[in-house]
Amino acid sequence: MTHTDAGTDVDPARPSAPPGRARGLTAAEVAERVAQGKVNDVPVRSSRSLMEIVRANVFTRFNAIIGVLWVIMLFVAPFQDSLFGYVIIANTGIGIIQEWRAKKTLDSLAVIGESKPTVRRDGKAVGVRTSEIVLGDVIEIGPGDKIVVDGAVAEADGLEIDESLLTGEADPVVKRPGEQLMSGSFVVAGGGAFTATKVGREAYAAQLAEEASRFTLVHSELRSGISTILKYVTWMMVPTAIGLVISQLVVKDNAFKESVARTVGGIVPMVPEGLVLLTSVAFAIGVIRLGRKHVLVQELPAIEGLARVDTVCLDKTGTLTEGGMDVTEVRPLGDDGGHDDDGGHEDGDGHEDGDGHDDGDGHDDGHDDGDGDDARMGYIRKVLGALGESDPRPNASLQAIVAAFPDSDDWRCTESLPFSSARKYSGATFSEGDGESSTWLLGAPDVLLPAGDAALRETERLNEQGLRVLLLARAARELDAPDVKEGVRATALVVLEQRLRPDAADTLRYFDEQNVRAKVISGDNAVSVGAVAGKLGLPGAATPVDARELPERAEEMGKALEEGTVFGRVAPQQKRDMVGALQSRGHTVAMTGDGVNDVLALKDADIGVSMGSGSEATRAVAQIVLLDNSFAPLPSVVAEGRRVIGNITRVATLFLVKTVYSVLLAVFVVCWQVEYPFLPRHLTLLSTLTIGVPAFFLALAPNRERARPHFVKRVMRYAIPGGVLAAVATFVTYLIARHYYTGSGALGAETSAATLTLFLISMWVLAIIARPYTWWRVCLVAAMGVAFLLVLAVPWLQHFFALRLVGSVMPWTAVGIAAVAAAALEFLWKWVDRRFPA
């Protein structure tokens, strides 16, 4: 069991292939296969390419509409009436730049978080990128490793493969040499090696979906809601625009160019062209901000999804506690495995003469002063050292034992049973130095021992202190027997102390303050898990629940999960069932974890969060990877999601109020058979000051309000009444001004009056949307008002935007109508809040 050095380029955890095992390909064979194209060349991309980004931002339905109208206006109207086209160009450019920045962030983080499979080449175990694997490579695998290409098992040591992500079958499959492995599956227990038989696009997982799909946009209520809105907007636009064209070009006997300009002026504001842009920019900036904190967002809407989460399921190990552990104590029990005093390990009666405990240093001299007890402890340490060395891929508990009890090299492992989260124990059979053979198990005391055993009382007392306890027991049956744990003889309790993450308490406190319920779901002893959670201040940690006692029916399980907070002895499949039970009760569930036993639950949760040091399979199915292995950035992810959702809801209302009043104004114009009130330059000015500039700042501002569902309903319940009031008030002002200025020779005065009314109402909508006020929001609204006053006060700006307030009666009438509309809007929106709560 001695490992040899594999060289400086070798992963220290992955030794050279022992004699008799496959040495893998030589460097010359690898080069030959690369030249033949037999490489695992499936592209791994974290986002769209630059050309795809440009295409997605440029070639949109609304850009096409605006583009055609812009070209028309370039030929038939002054420059200022075609300004809307340049705004679209600027918007598109901003969208491309921001998404490109987000792509670079994703790409760089993906490289940091990318795992490197271990292959044997020239007899050495070396880590290579997935894309560098060639046909015929011998790839070493262990618990948590993902099968990256199809292959045939070359070596198997208790190898168990989970193929549920491919076949839907939840039970692990035991694999033996010669059997096939499918890419996309992962190792849950044991280890071994396999030979790559299919690489690149020929591999099974690549045929289902290339890895590039890993970062594609999955379901997002925000994006789907905006798509729904845009679909209805399109339906409204088409007939309205046709009616407006007929009205302005046929019914009214106007000059052709002016008719075209007013027609375009009526169609352009119907398009909420900046809404999609700001949504993309908000997501992209969220990715960049989180990237600076080493949070890899593998699916963009995950930012939004975590903000909607109301329940977070936390795995204890690796999430609340750090991965490492320390052996603090070994407590011999009444049976040391059957060695009597003539073997020098026991005092003759099977019990130690002393108190059975060490003096606190954990290893050497604290059990008794008798020679029999020293020899006994030496034997136990030898067993633990051999068990640690028997597993080539030790988990955190076994790593602590390996560190505390080095192998003496005089025992030979003849058979091993790797640790499995499902069975909760591992084991090995040894040929001892004196020729005897013994089988040992190491695992959860409450799994290996029958109920009521005296050792369980001591275990429970230790668990209440938040300590992790493993039982070392000698088996009476063969290791491959299905009932190997029956009749075991307890030998010692191994006590391990877990290191709490320093940031875990603050993160749990944040979730509690934000009304997000935290559920600790762990495979460890329930009492121990409850004690750890209690140290972190988690409410409800004092009453932990043993998951083995939970009902199997989803409805009953969901009720139990609502009442409890801490759950121990949870099996991997049960974690998945618990996530499903919570979802069936209407909860949006996030699952965090880093171990292979968390994969199924991470996959089924609404949002999966993995630690960067977690298993390859765990990182592959998670939407968010915390690359610094710290729980602390999770509040930042939640905050980013809330910022995106809350702010996009705000600005969507601004955009859609404009769409509603534009459609209604067009309808009124068609019905009253009058000229459209505005030229494109007027609406460009209004859109810039009351929507474009404010929306950009509001979309990127901090926002901690909790995300709420029904995006479309929440936006439209404000946009419809706001748009209706704005359209009615504006059109009333326009009709009054037309009558008032008839025969006065004040060309364009009625348009200026209508523009003033529409601006004031739009400003009031902006003022409502900007609540609650902060200093910068007040300054933002005030700055937009000052900018409009400058246009009215500076002669050349008056001329440029064709705005000229004539007299005092009509302008004040326009202000009065706007004031009445604003008061009505306040009342109406409050009534909507009460009548149609979100």
Return d(Cα 459, Cα 470) in angstroms, integer.
9
CA separation for the pair 448, 494 (Å, rounded): 14
Task: Tell me if residue 493 falls in helix, strand or coil.
Answer: strand
State how far the Cα of 113 lies from the Cα of 107, in Å rounded to an integer: 10
| Sign of the torsion angle spanned by Cα atoms 708, 711, 713, 718 | positive
Annotated active-site residue in 315, 336, 407, 524 = 315
Pick from 298, 372, 362, 307: nearest CA to 336: 372
CB neighbours of 179 closer than 8 A, spacing ≥ 6?
Answer: 152, 153
* Contact (Cβ atoms closer than 8 angstroms) between residue 190 and residue 392: no
Q: How many whole angstroms separate alpha carbon 116 and alpha carbon 393? A: 16
Sign of the Cα torsion 242, 247, 250, 256 reads: negative
Q: Positive or negative CA dihedral for 80, 85, 91, 93?
A: negative
Q: Closest by alpha carbon to 139, among 8, 279, 24? A: 24
Strand, helix or coil for residue 621 = helix
Contact 443, 342 (CB under 8 A): no
d(CA 563, CA 585): 13
Q: Which residue has the tokens 């070596």?
A: 155
Distance between start and end Cα atoms, the chain:
65
Provide the phi-psi class of 136: left if phi over 0, else alpha when psi is between -120 and 50, else beta.
left
Q: How far apart, in whole angstroms, are the C-alpha atoms of residue 324 and residue 714?
A: 47
Is 315 catalytic? The answer is: yes
State both tokens at 695: 């929306």
- The position carrying tokens 């010692």 is 492
Residues with a known catalytic role: 315
